[in-house]
Amino acid sequence: MARIPIWPGSSSFNTVVNPTPFGFYDNDTDFRNDADRIATYVVQRLGYPMVDIELQDLNLYSCFEEAVTEYGHQLYTFQIRNNLIDLRGKSTGSSPINNVYIDDNYGISSQGTTGESGGGGDTDGDGYYYDVNKLHTGSLKVKAGIQRYDLLTATGSGGTSTISGSLPGTVTIHKIYHYSPAAINRYFDPYAGTGTGIQSLMQTFGFGNYSPGVNFMLMPMYFDILKLQAIEMNDHIRKSGYHFEIINNRYLKLFPIPTNDYTLHFEYTDSSGALTEDGGEDLTMNPETGTSSSLSTITDISNVPYINPTYKYLNAPARQWIRKFTVALAKEMLGSVRGKYQSLPIPGDSTTLDYSRLLSEAADEKMKLIEMLREDLDTTTTKAQLEIKADENLNRTLGLAADGKYQIYIH
């Protein structure tokens, strides 16, 4: 009969080459520090040193890695299910969204550290942030007499754009701030075409000979509003309207033809940072424009950009769940090993190993842990939180009424 390897009594994660099957967390300092403590905890839960444990350190490290991965699977599957309505149609991006807050404005605005973005920016290199849909502000140096501009080319367009040099198909223009001058700027323009005749009124009242440079006359508020409307109507009818044409998010044509140099501002997103899993650019052909684009879209649960959790970011309740799940996995593995050697010879007799009990307990513990985690996650949905808050307010009100206490509102 083959000799069964047993737990030697200690382990050293840092001295083992490729200690886990996939190496998801081998470079995580917290994971490395906990690995040997987890191994000791598991074998002691299984009965060591009172009984021999037919497992080695590699088996226990593998269970530890699987437990962390299973926790991330349950957590992020819940997040995808809960937020898919806000994620579908957004870019998959170049970074995972594990630590990104998802709300109704995801991909448009954010609470991130860099301001307006789809998840903020990573300032310390530790967190994951989703920045492909970050809304940038750009500008174009408009030249007098030049109406057409290429926003992606610095030369040949007459003006210089801050997005010159960007890849075609990666930039999406969202807003261009090209408006007619405000009517209030021309309130005192005698050639505004309003026909108000203030000077004639001054002459009629006998004030025409006073203060020739500036006229002061008390007028009702609606007079100012009507005058501004008159200026806008005059410009709308008699002059070329302020508008623009944009083709392929690149070629811009301004109306009317600029008469002076100024800076035109616009908002855009740039998806040129999107990368494939192996680090290369994810270029896809746009059939309408014939250009390549690195933008990929979230369509279902299979391409939402979640990755395995970062162990060092997991809090104490998460790590306790992982410890218990590691024990269940190790118990399952130990049951499988002992099932191969169902009976062992002893002097004058043989003994039967408890493999069936271990397998049964392991399956039950795993199921209960997953159910407990799913129940905890279900209570964190927006709907569940609102219901809990409503129940608390109702109970507080009923409790005050039952005690004969009433809330006093002071206005």
Are the C-beta atoms of residues 52 and 6 closer than 8 Å to each other? yes
Q: Give domain status of residue 30, yes or no.
A: yes
**Are 253 and 317 found together in one domain?**
no
Are residues 61 and 13 in contact, defined by beta-carbon separation less than 8 angstroms?
A: yes
Same domain for 243 and 168: yes
Are residues 177 and 247 both part of a single domain? yes
Token match 């799940």: residue? 325
For residue 227, being part of any structural domain is answered with yes
User: Is residue 363 over pLDDT 90?
Assistant: yes
Instruction: Please determine, for residue 129, whether its predicted confidence score (pLDDT) is greater than 50.
Output: no
DSSP class per residue in 118-180:
SS---SSSSS----TT--EEEEEEE-TT--EEETT-SSSSSS-BTTTTPPTTTEEEEEE---P
- Over the Cα atoms of the chain, what is R_g? 35
Judgement on whether residues 146 and 260 belong to the same structural domain of the protein: yes
Do residues 25 and 144 share a domain? no
Torsional sign, CA 370, 375, 380, 381: positive
Residue 325 located in a structural domain = yes
Tokens of 84: 């898919």
At 237-286, the pLDDT tens digits run: 888 788 899 988 888 999 889 988 999 999 988 766 543 333 344 444 44
Which residues constitute the domain of residue 141? 136-270
For residue 109, tell me if it sits in a domain: no
Q: Are both 150 and 210 inside the same structural domain? A: yes
Band the pLDDT of 70: cuts 50, 70, 90.
very high
Say what the pLDDT of residue 242 is.
Answer: 86
In a domain, 111, yes or no: no
Q: Which helix (H) or strand (E) holds 316?
A: helix 316-340
Task: Let me know if residue 301 belongs to a domain.
Answer: no
Rounded to an integer, what distance in angstroms lies between the CA atom of residue 344 and that of residue 354?
Answer: 11
- Residues 221 and 329 reside in one and the same domain: no
327 shares a domain with 230: no
pLDDT over 60 (residue 124) = no
Name the maximum alpha-carbon separation found in the chain.
134
Digit-coded pLDDT (tens) for 150-192: 888 754 455 677 777 677 777 888 899 998 888 877 776 665 5
Domain membership flag for residue 123: no
Q: Is 261 in the same domain as 336?
A: no
Residue-wise pLDDT tens digits, 23-38 = 999 999 999 999 999 9
Query: Do 331 and 358 form a contact (C-beta atoms < 8 A)?
Result: yes
pLDDT higher than 90, residue 42: yes
Task: Give the span between the Cα atoms of 122 and 125, in whole angstroms.
Answer: 6
| pLDDT number for residue 20 | 96
**Could you tell me what percent of the chain has a pLDDT over 70?**
70
Do 318 and 385 belong to one domain? Answer: yes
pLDDT digits (tens, 9 = 90+) for 77-112: 999 998 898 888 887 876 888 888 887 666 643 333
Q: How far apart are CA 52 and CA 47, in angstroms?
A: 8
What are the strands, taking DSSP E only, across 192-261?
A: 243-247, 251-255
CA dist., res. 16 & res. 33, Å (int)? 13
Instruction: Pick the more confident residue, 49 or 115.
Output: 49
Taking a C-beta distance cutoff of 8 angstroms, is the pair 25, 34 a contact? no
Cβ(94)–Cβ(273) under 8 Å? yes
**pLDDT value for 163:** 79
Question: Has residue 364 been placed in a domain?
Answer: yes
pLDDT, averaged across the chain: 78
- Residue 293's pLDDT is 43
Provide the domain count of the chain.
2
**Same domain for 156 and 262?**
yes
The predicted structure's pLDDT at residue 231: 84
What's the CA dihedral at 93, 94, 96, 99 to 10 degrees?
A: -80
